[in-house]
Structure formats: structure tokens, C-alpha cells
Amino acid sequence: MLKTSLLGRDYSSEPNSLDNGAKSLSESSSTTTSEKVHPAEEANGLTMVQTLIHLLKCNIGTGLLGLPLAMKNAGLLVGPISLLAIGILTVHCMVILLNCAHHLSQRLQKTFVDYGEAMMYSLETCPNAWLRTHSVWGRYTVSFLLIITQLGFCSVYFMFMADNLQQMVEEAHVTSNTCQPRKIPVLTPILDIRFYMLTILPFLVLLVFIQNLKLLSIFSTLANVTTLGSMALIFEYIVQGIPDPSRLPLMASWKTFLLFFGTAIFTFEGVGMVLSLKNQMKQPQQFSFVLYLGMSLVIILYICLGTLGYMKFGSNTQASITLNLPNCWLYQSVKLMYSIGIFFTYTLQFHVPAEIIIPFVISQVSESWALSVDLSVRTALVCLTCVSAILIPRLDLVISLVGSVSSSALALIIPPLLELITFYPEDMSCVTIAKDIMISILGLLGCVFGTYQALYELTQPINHSIANSTGVYA
């Protein structure tokens, strides 16, 4: 039937509540290339190498390309050290989340517990009667934050593709075969950046109509190939002819450091999918090794690209490092390849909020309207991300804002609180309690002040903003 072939779902068996719709969170956040697999189905589970590839893929996106500007906002010395510290804290919080989910699944004799369920089940057994009564809001909170985060990613993707498309199209007549360092042009754009966003919109609407995960895996493979190729060429360029870094400040202003915090947290996108990745492995007990290896590689990649990119471009560092690449056909192809990768990654990121929102909406209408409602909601969500990008076309500030608001909550604030609620009745050590409180407070401070600074910068004229504008042109 059309319903099943186009959307990959049977509406007659849709969940009838937001609770059930939210159960697909962990699954959809990581099953970009495969269906959910339970540990019992080991023959179809992921190998260590496959799991490592999934982990790397989920942490390498547009945020990575914004790290050179993040280093500029923190300083040449403070930036790498702070990024390493945030990376270590994020990985530690991933481990906390895994331990809590494992403990709750054993306590409740369940095969798998996702992020939202872990929060809900933990609150159900906490000493506070009010929290026990309202435990379901733990799942709702995680679901809401995941929706905000993923739609934020999608909005950033709109801006990234539009920025690179504008630069490729409007500089095509001066693009040469010789790759010389880019001189930031002071030009009036031929077409407004919003025009390019609207040009991309219908293609993304058609793309998100595809729900079949096996078909999406083809797009995922294309995204991996184009991302890997473009990343290799970016590194090949930035390691050549690096200027003397002594002219760069070791420490930047505390105001710009707050923007660094949001960008750094934004780049670590894997917190919401570690539980499902572990559940999909043939041998879940080996996931800890994969997690530490994969995230170590990710942190090294982040620090190297951010530091080398800032050293290479200095004060001219743009919101995305691709905007600093030379205006020659080779590096124009890099922008094209990475943009194609981001284009196909959009639907993979979009899959998470869609699987939370759409089942609930469809449960409110008759089966005959299910397909129309499904497509309408998908179209509306894509348009929402486009409108957000049009209203705030500032790539660096939106990355920082999304990172400060929702990514910091999912990565740093909630996991330590979850550990406190889960294990406090079982005599936690004072050191563990103090550590969890400190991490949550740090995440909360970063969330509050990072959000304030990003919003403040958004209210300032581009020429007076302490952060770089998104636009290619001054």
C-alpha cells in the first residue's frame, strides 16, 4: 500500500499516546542505518567496527566546522584545554547514563531502557512523593529537549547549506584553478541568503517524506563518503603554511568564552544515542571500549581541527571553516561535497523529532487521515526549521544558542541528576554526590550564561557584534 511503501509504517497500529511515541527516541536517534535490534537478536546485531562507525558519524556534523571560530572565542590556549575538559565531562556523563539505564533495566527486568524511560523509571522510585507522582514528566522533558536539539540541528543545516551555496554560486565567475588563500571580500551579495534557504526548502520537504530506514541508509552512506572526502581536503589545506601563532591571544574575553561553551557542547551530539547503540551491539558488554575509543578519536579530531583552523585563519576565521577555503574549483568542490553530506544528514536528524511528534498527532485523527496528517506534519516541521534559519541567519550564534539551551541539558545537567536519583537510596558516596552536583551546576551555569550571551549577540547589529556574522559578505 502507498501508506506503507512511502512512509514505512502501518497507521492501523500507531501508538495512541505521547508516551508510546516517545519510546522511539533512542532507537530513532541512532538507527539511521538499521532497524532497532535487541540483544537477543545477536545474529543481526552491530559489530564493534560498525558501532564505532555509527558513533563517529553521529558526532561529526556542522558543529565540527564551527570549532575554529569557537577557539577564537576562547583563545589559543584556553580553547583546546576547555574543549578537552568538556569532552571528558561529556563522555563521563555518557557513562553515567549507561550505568543508570543498565541498573534500571535490571531492577525492572526490562531488555532495554532509553533515555526518557530511564528518567521516568528513576523518578518512580525516588523518595519524593511529588516526583513519583509526576515521574512521566521526566520522559516528557527528555523528549522535549531532544526535539529542540534535533530541530536546532536541522535549522543549522539550513544555514550551513545556504551559506556555502551562496558563496559557490556568487563567486563562480571569479573561481579559478589556482588555489590561493582567500581574501575576505567586501561585496554586496547578489541574492539574499534567505533566497538560498527557500531554494533548498522544497527538496528537503521531499526528502523527509522518506521514512524507510533501509532507504535512508543509502543516503547515510553518501553522507559518510562526502563528509570523509571533504574533511580530508580541509585538513590537507589547513596544515600548510600556518602563520606564526604568537600573534594570537592565549585567552579571549569571558563574553566570547560563553559562546565557545555553547558551540563546544553543540558538537558533542552523541549523548542521546549511546543507549540504543549499546542495545544494538552483538556483544553489548564491549560497548565501553568502543565508547572510549570512539570519543577519544572524536575529541582529538575536534581539538586538531579547531586549533589548526584558528591558527591558519586567525582573526578572519568564519562561522564555518568551509567559508575560509580558497576560491578555486578544488575547494569549491569541498563545500559542495560537505553540503551534500549535510543535505542527506538532515533527514537522519529529522527522524528523531518526527518519531516523537507524528505518532501522537496521528493518534488524534482517524486512520483515513493518517497519511495526509503525517505528510502535513513533516512539511510543517521542515518549514519551521527553515523559518527559524530565515529569522536568525547567524550560523555561529544559533549553534551556540542550541548548544547552551538544550545540548547542555542533555549532555551535562540531566545525567548527573539521573545518577543521584537512581543510586541515592543505595548509599552513594559523598564524593560521587559532590561530583554529580558540581557537574550539573557547571552545566546549568553554562546553559544560563551561554544562552544569555547568544541572545544578547543576536540583538546586536552584525557590525557591532563581538561574534562573527554568518554571512559570507560584509
* DSSP SS3 for 171: coil
Residues 199 and 184: their CA atoms lie apart, in Å, by 25
Query: What pLDDT does residue 183 have?
Result: 63
Is pLDDT larger for residue 152 or for residue 394?
152
Q: What is the pTM of this model?
A: 0.80
Is pLDDT larger for residue 64 or for residue 416?
416
Judge contact between 318 and 473, C-beta under 8 A: no
- Written as nine digits, the cell of 298 is 572524536
What's the CA angle centered on 104, arms 102 and 427, to 5 degrees? 100
Residue 46: strand pairing partners? 281
Structure confidence by residue, pLDDT tens digits, 66-82:
899 899 999 989 999 99
Residue whose cell numbers read 578519536:
297
Query: What pLDDT does residue 8 have?
Result: 54
Neighbour tally for 463: CB within 10 Å: 7
Query: What pLDDT does residue 473 have?
Result: 41
Average pLDDT, the chain: 80
Judge contact between 400 and 319, C-beta under 8 A: no
Q: Taking Cα atoms as reference points, which of 231, 237, 233, 226 lies closest to residue 182?
A: 237
- Burial label for 104, CB within 10 Å (0-12, 13-18, 19+), is buried
* DSSP SS3 for 9: coil
pLDDT at 324 over 70: yes
* DSSP SS3 for 244: coil
